[in-house]
């Protein structure tokens, strides 16, 4: 059988004529492996470079983030799974645009450059190379984030056209790469070295799965063999797309690991950990903070303050490429970084629950949502149970299941009112909700805050009086002034209450609630927009009003499941 070798990544698929390689993005045709969707993009939006993330390259500047769909690996818990695990769902949403048009959009949005990120550039390599050329012709910078599983040909093609790259490592061993569908770790580390030696600004990120500290340490040692100054981002594993919670390290474990790695590399950062101080850049000579940053969602950071000038007060050069700025351009909740993929997952979850399970039908709704810019208002639309149900209705209707959407939404709302009615006339305890760390309040406009109200509590986060994009930790005094009677904490890691209480005491905060033993983990299922929120309302109501006779969370979950089944729907992972 005639086959064509694809050299766009280290898999080097042999693709039969008329068929596709393993990523689905190249087809054997006319004696070669050709791109199936040339010059085609799924996402195109301006975003702060720290959400991609890059921390030492043009800090604070806005770049135009673009993506296609597909990936050459298949990692458990992938944050972009909707684009990578099943690219066929979204190929209908790809928009074909000549490179110069993308460049014009980036310029019009005031961007300093273009970054191909969110999915793997190797699966759209000819498109990426054309876009990089066009960006440079227009005087823009160009970079990408990649898993580095590239092979020599792709690395050589990219090297002269990249100004910056973030290579996302899966670990240091071949076993880690096999788990992600690769053969070995070698190609990724060779990519780091080759691009660094070609003069590209290189940053490295590595996923940290609980119990695999050695992988991170070994990866750091291998990166240090190239240059100990390469910024090294430890990505605390988050169970996106159904990865297991037991794989999530506790914040303390992640902090300890970052400390260990700091003895190997000069610039070590910790992501996905609210309240950490390890997102800030320090002077390598004297340790002063040069850029202070805060947690900003999955894989994201945001600058709060930057040192003015190119030299630290001690005289050492600030270790960044390009100018720094502390300006912050606000981004909608489902815009920037990896958030659009979270928004798309959420909509797909609603569609599936209403019985829109056909991949093509889901793809059409998601494509329309992307084309209309609906993601930019999604957060506001689903911030309450009523708003969520209204969005559910309209997506179900768009997917051709109007009646099923109506029925499901109305059943869900009646379950919620049933719980709420039980707590009517009872006191409304003052609730503080922390995100992972006692001093990091959950944003007051998050759906979880409205769950607290539905469960008969009064969320004092609303009284903090901070902008809804203000990610700075609060002080212990600010929290005490709110007089919270009960504390909930939201944690993706399996952190027990005792550990969180210890963190409260260390931070000198919430002592009254801690003394009364009124500290609880926000029940699972409150993840934004998942249908499990109905069960979570029951769980919170049961804690706040134990004598109200609220249904048990398990009962509510069963009730929701039976409503979903009644309309022919299904609940995907992460309900």
Based on the shown chain and the rule CB under 6 A, indicate whether residue 26 belongs to the binding site for ligand SF4: yes
Q: Are 67 and 118 in contact (CB under 8 A)?
A: yes
Q: Site for ligand SF4 (CB under 6 A): which residue of 16, 19, 34, 74? A: 74
Comparison of 75 and 223: residue with beta carbon closer to ligand SF4: 75
DSSP string for 486-534:
EEEEE-SS---HHHHHHHHHHHT--HHHHHTT-EEEPPTT-STT-TTHH
Q: Site for ligand SF4 (CB under 6 A): which residue of 75, 135, 283, 559? A: 75
Comparison of 22 and 446: residue with beta carbon closer to ligand SF4: 22
> Residues 6 or more apart from 19 whose CB is under 8 A from it?
27, 28
453, 456, 459, 462: CA torsion to nearest 10:
40
Comparison of 79 and 419: residue with beta carbon closer to ligand SF4: 79
| Phi, psi values for residue 258, rounded to 5° | -60, -40
Q: Going residue by residue from 160 to 179, which x/- string records binding to ligand SF4, judged by CB under 6 A?
A: --------x-----------
> Residues 6 or more apart from 251 whose CB is under 8 A from it?
236, 273, 274, 275, 276, 436, 437, 493, 495, 503
116, 294, 353 from 564: Cα distances, Å: 38, 39, 6
Least separation in angstroms between CB 126 and ligand SF4: 11
Based on the shown chain and the rule CB under 6 A, indicate whether residue 262 belongs to the binding site for ligand SF4: no
Comparison of 127 and 303: residue with beta carbon closer to ligand SF4: 127
Comparison of 35 and 485: residue with beta carbon closer to ligand SF4: 35
DSSP classification of residue 162: -
Q: Site for ligand SF4 (CB under 6 A): which residue of 47, 67, 80, 267? A: 80
Q: Site for ligand SF4 (CB under 6 A): which residue of 21, 363, 436, 551? A: 21
Least separation in angstroms between CB 79 and ligand SF4: 6
> Residues 6 or more apart from 362 whose CB is under 8 A from it?
89, 348, 351, 352, 356, 399
Least separation in angstroms between CB 271 and ligand SF4: 14
Least separation in angstroms between CB 21 and ligand SF4: 2
Distance CA 419, CA 413 (A): 10
Beta carbons within 10 angstroms of residue 394's beta carbon: 16
Comparison of 174 and 468: residue with beta carbon closer to ligand SF4: 174
Based on the shown chain and the rule CB under 6 A, indicate whether residue 544 belongs to the binding site for ligand SF4: no
Distance CA 71, CA 121 (A): 8
Q: Going residue by residue from 84 to 123, which x/- string records binding to ligand SF4, judged by CB under 6 A?
A: x----------------------------------xx-xx
Q: In angstroms, how far is CA 241 from the centroid of its own chain?
A: 11
Q: Site for ligand SF4 (CB under 6 A): which residue of 47, 68, 72, 127? A: 72
Based on the shown chain and the rule CB under 6 A, indicate whether residue 78 belongs to the binding site for ligand SF4: yes
Which residue ranges make up the site for ligand SF4 (CB under 6 A)? 6, 8-9, 11-13, 21-23, 25-26, 71-75, 78, 80, 84, 119-120, 122-123, 147, 168, 180
């Amino acid at each position: 059988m005639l086959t064509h070798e694809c050299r766009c990544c280290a898999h080097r698929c042999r693709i039969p004529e008329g068929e596709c390689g393993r990523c689905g993005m190249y087809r054997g045709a006319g004696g070669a492996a050709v791109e199936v969707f040339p010059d085609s993009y799924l996402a195109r939006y301006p975003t702060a470079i720290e959400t991609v993330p890059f921390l030492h390259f043009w800090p604070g500047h806005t770049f135009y983030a673009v993506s296609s769909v597909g990936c050459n690996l298949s990692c458990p818990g992938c944050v972009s799974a909707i684009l990578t695990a099943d690219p066929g769902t979204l190929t209908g949403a790809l928009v074909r645009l000549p490179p110069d048009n993308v460049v014009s959009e980036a310029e019009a949005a005031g961007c300093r450059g273009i970054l191909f990120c969110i999915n793997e550039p190797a699966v759209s390599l000819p498109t990426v190379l054309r876009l990089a050329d066009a960006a440079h012709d227009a005087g823009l910078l160009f970079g990408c984030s990649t898993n580095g599983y590239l092979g020599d040909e792709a690395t050589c093609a990219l090297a002269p056209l990249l100004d910056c790259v973030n290579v996302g490592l899966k670990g240091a061993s071949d076993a880690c790469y096999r788990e992600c569908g690769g053969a070995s770790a070698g190609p990724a580390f060779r990519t780091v070295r080759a691009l660094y030696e070609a003069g590209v600004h290189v940053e490295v990120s590595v996923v940290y799965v609980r119990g695999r500290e050695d992988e991170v340490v070994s990866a750091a040692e291998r990166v240090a063999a190239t240059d100990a100054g390469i910024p090294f981002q430890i990505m605390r594993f988050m169970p996106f797309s159904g990865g297991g919670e037991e794989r999530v390290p506790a914040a303390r474990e992640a902090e300890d690991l970052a400390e260990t790695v700091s003895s190997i590399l000069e610039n070590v950062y910790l992501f996905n950990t609210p309240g950490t101080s390890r997102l800030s850049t320090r002077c390598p000579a004297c340790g002063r903070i040069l850029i202070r940053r805060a947690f900003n969602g999955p894989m994201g950071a945001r600058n709060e303050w930057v040192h003015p000038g190119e030299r630290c007060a001690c005289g050492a050069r600030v270790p960044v490429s390009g100018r720094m700025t502390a300006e912050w351009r606000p981004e909608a909740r489902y815009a920037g970084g990896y958030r659009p993929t979270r928004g798309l997952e959420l909509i797909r979850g609603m569609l599936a629950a209403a019985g829109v399970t056909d991949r093509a039908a889901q793809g059409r709704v998601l494509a329309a949502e992307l084309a209309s810019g609906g993601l930019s208002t999604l957060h506001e639309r689903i911030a309450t149970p009523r708003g969520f149900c209204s969005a559910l209705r309209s997506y179900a209707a768009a997917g051709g299941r109007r009646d099923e959407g109506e029925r499901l939404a109305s059943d869900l709302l009646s379950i919620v009112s049933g719980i709420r009615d039980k707590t009517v006339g009872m006191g409304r305890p003052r609730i503080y909700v922390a995100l992972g760390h006692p001093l990091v309040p959950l944003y007051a406009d998050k759906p979880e805050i409205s769950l607290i109200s539905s469960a008969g509590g009064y969320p004092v986060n609303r009284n903090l009086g901070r902008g809804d994009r203000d990610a700075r930790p609060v002080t212990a005094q600010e929290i005490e002034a709110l007089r919270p009677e009960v504390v909930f904490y939201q944690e993706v890691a399996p952190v027990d209450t005792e550990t969180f209480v210890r963190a409260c005491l260390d931070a000198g905060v919430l002592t009254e609630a801690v003394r009364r033993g009124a500290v609880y983990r926000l029940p699972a299922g409150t993840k934004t927009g998942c249908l499990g929120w109905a069960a979570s309302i029951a769980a919170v109501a049961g804690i706040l009003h134990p004598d109200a006779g609220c249904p048990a969370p398990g009962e509510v979950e069963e009730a929701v499941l039976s409503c979903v089944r009644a309309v022919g729907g299904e609940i995907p992972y992460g309900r």
